[in-house]
Amino acid sequence: MSYKWDVLCEEGLQFFGKMSASMSHEIKNVLAVINENAGLLQDFVYMHDTGMPIDAKQLKGVSQMIIKQVRRADSIMKNMNKFAHTTDQLTKAENLNDILDIVTKLAARFASMREVSLEKIPPDEPINIKTNPFLLENLIWLCLDSAMDSVGQGKTVRVFTKKIDNSAQITFSQLDSMPEPTPEAFPDKRIEALLCALQAEITVDSKAGTINISLPI
């Protein structure tokens, strides 16, 4: 089996860059809210200095807003950290749901921008697989990206995992408006290279509105 390293490297770097840019953009949004609230506190101090009483309720509101934004930033950074650490080892035993969780969280902002909802259904039991976590994340992202494009505005993409015999399956469903894929468009050379490296298979069922990734356990 020959891996297409040039394709994997190029796509991997683009994927990492896209996700990092998205997360840093979200952090900037959080900083902007904190900055406005810090400014609001300065306004209160200025008003106090000019003889107006400070309302404790207003201060509490600002404090709660800052706490909310710090928690939001912490959650973004935790996911960013988990994502960055998936490049630590080329092969690792992982809970498939944890990998899916990272990617769906990374994809949340892209979904929101397209006005698409993502729904991740938790599995009944953990599915442990030995895989290259970064490449698998990249593959899940590319499928999710296609799925979000095909459902369009206002729709929901449902994602779930299940174990079938000696394989683990990731399903993207509710893709009702998905067109019949043409071989040259889907899977493209990037997905092909990732499938090859992960020894995975992909099936697209336009009638059922699903994309299935099958992975060896």
Partner 1 sequence: MTNAQSTPSQIKILAVDDEVDFLNTLSRRLESRDFQVTTASNGEQAIKEAKIGGFDVAILDLKMPGMNGQELLKILKENHKFLEVIMLTGYASVDSAVECTKLGAFGYLEKPYDLEKLLCVLRDAYETRLKKKFPHDQKRMKELDLLAAGDPMAALSAMMRLDDLEK
Nearest CA among 117, 151, 154, 138 for reference residue 187: 138
Please choose, out of 5-13, 29-37, 73-81, 184-192, the segment that lies near partner 1 by the rule CB under 8 A.
29-37
Cβ closest to partner 1, residue 72 vs residue 92:
72
How far apart are CB 112 and partner 1 at their closest, in Å? 5
Please choose, out of 8-16, 65-73, 82-90, 125-133, the segment that lies near partner 1 by the rule CB under 8 A.
65-73
User: Which of residues 18, 34, 123, 217 is near partner 1 by CB under 8 A?
Assistant: 34
What's the farthest any 2 CA atoms get from each other in the chain?
Answer: 77
Calpha distance 84→112 (Å, rounded): 22
Cβ closest to partner 1, residue 110 vs residue 160:
110
The terminus-to-terminus CA distance of the chain in angstroms comes to 19
Looking at the DSSP bridge assignments, the partners of residue 160 are: 121, 171
Cβ closest to partner 1, residue 153 vs residue 166:
153
Calpha distance 77→79 (Å, rounded): 5
Q: Is 25 in the site for partner 1 (CB under 8 A)?
A: yes
3-state secondary structure of 120: strand
Q: Is 67 in the site for partner 1 (CB under 8 A)?
A: no
Calpha distance 96→136 (Å, rounded): 9
3-state secondary structure of 4: coil
Q: Is 45 in the site for partner 1 (CB under 8 A)?
A: no
Contacts (CB under 8 A) with partner 1, residues 100-159: 112-115, 153
Please choose, out of 4-12, 18-26, 138-146, 202-210, the segment that lies near partner 1 by the rule CB under 8 A.
18-26
User: Which of residues 13, 28, 199, 201 is near partner 1 by CB under 8 A?
Assistant: 28
Q: Is 31 in the site for partner 1 (CB under 8 A)?
A: yes
Cβ closest to partner 1, residue 69 vs residue 104:
69
3-state secondary structure of 108: helix
3-state secondary structure of 5: helix
3-state secondary structure of 123: coil
